[in-house]
Structure 1
């Protein structure tokens, strides 16, 4: 039997050798990290490491690197390093950088990164509430989804045909759907299954409502990734059900396999996470293995021909 082609549409590399500075990995511990103690990932993670994690039966044809919160003053440093890494080691085949949406420097940051042939878009995280009961505290705050500067940043992406990797907790998904009405042609890839951190019945109802609002926009896709939560223990069975439900909401043509490694490794091995995705596909769209595990990433991130052909 031939190997299943695989593209990992969301992971992180870091060398921790001075090439790129990551304050949260190399300086003081971030006490507010959403998965708690992350000492286990404060070590280099590079192309050879992710290749070594791919289980038998799969052929990794490419990966998409998502910005890893390097020093914010010069996001092009990480982009240049990743471009050189790709030239030397073949991964990643595309990257998602960062830019300061509400800052006058945003335009320059975008244009500098567009010099890289791997650059596809940015992940810029808006100001959000850490818990649903604090939602009102951030509504309309500087840097929030309601900030005029944020809207300007999204327009700059749309004008440059760049995508936005959207990462907000579930209680902000409906806000994101409303914010995107002003940029109807912007390609958006929602991170981490919409972050359903609140696993109470009202919390999951809010997640579903927000996911459906975003899915109504045909230019929004979702990464089947990272279901660790600061508000609930890891529950493999429930997580598989949420993955399957996400496939049902967005449809199999707008769901992308993603590992979020090495971060997801705090809760599950790469093989376990991939098996969970496979089970969700079997439960929700059994004929969609190839699109979800490979082809959708090619289309949404406009990957090069070698990734398409394997």
Structure 2
């Protein structure tokens, strides 16, 4: 692996973190963190260490020594009865601490009061997009096509279409076996900016699994309105496979180009398998053949433009 130039050392990079979470278990309801524990069902396995507050001070501690100049908060699965409460709380945090820079809240595209909740989110100035997870199959062998809440559901598509009226982006989080379905949606809505979360979740690191993942990404990348977040490379059981992760990063950037890829930490969830320094170093090692302009786009400029981070 080529030696990384000193001026591209992680601690000297300007970083915009395009995906992280915060939560206060005393002021909000987070069922996945506060209710019955289901570690075996979580895609990364045991997550007991996440069942505590994670606030701006914790985020600053985890990223200390790095030039993180802005961040994007992605909804943290707070109670779906408190969707707008989360947005309000994050704006209050921003006013007090400077974190986060902008907010991507949650709304279900099929909930009965969808339009009312969407309008309530828009009352807050730092809202930039929506994350709404469609119903997905639990494995590549299961078929849920056309079921309520899936990406083929007319009601769900109607909800997605509403984002364009507000100039909101969509954070797309589906397992790799649904990437081709998402590509069809992206083609149908060219006016909506979309960004693939967690590198398309390439959880199957077999050659066939990675081939299927790449085909899905290629279908998505054919749509110029789609970007990708280079994030969450951890595997179940806290496994961090640096060589495999670098391969995934290189493939994803080759498919989307440095113009449509952005760095994201996924803190604190990513801490189940790696700390911030390991994430940054793995990314830089994978991108060692790219020039400084490309690195700057991936680590900062693309997220600034996509999420309209003005200050």
* TM-score interval, normalised by the smaller of the two chains: over 0.9
Aligned match of 2:82: 74
Matches within 5 A, 1:38-77: 38-56=47-65, 58-77=66-85
Aligned match of 1:15: 24
Kindly indicate whether residue 257 of structure 2 is the aligned counterpart of residue 248 of structure 1. no
Matches within 5 A, 1:1-310: 3-17=12-26, 19-31=27-39, 32-56=41-65, 58-134=66-142, 136=143, 138-230=144-236, 233-284=239-290, 287-304=293-310, 306=311
TM-score of the pair, normalised by structure 1: 0.93
Separation in 2, partners of 1:234, 1:100 = 32
Separation in 2, partners of 1:242, 1:188 = 20
Q: Is the 8 A contact 1:247 1:285 kept in 2?
A: no
Per-residue CA distance 1:17-76 (angstroms, 9 max, x = gap): 1x22101111211342111110011111111111122253x3111110000101112310
Separation in 1, partners of 2:289, 2:154 = 42
Structure 1 65/128 Cα, relative in aligned 2: closer, same or farther at 3 Å? same
Deviation (angstroms), 1:228: 2.3
SS of 2:134's equivalent in the other structure is: coil
Deviation (angstroms), 1:7: 0.8
Structure 1 284/210 Cα, relative in aligned 2: closer, same or farther at 3 Å? farther
Deviation (angstroms), 1:95: 0.8
SS of 1:132's equivalent in the other structure is: coil
Per-residue CA distance 1:233-272 (angstroms, 9 max, x = gap): 5311101110111111100011111000100100011110
Structure 1 residue runs of 5 or longer lacking an equivalent are none
In angstroms, what is the RMSD of aligned CA positions? 1.7
Separation in 2, partners of 1:285, 1:67 = 33
Per-residue CA distance 1:150-206 (angstroms, 9 max, x = gap): 111110011211010000011100000102222110000110001111222221111
Aligned pairs, number: 301
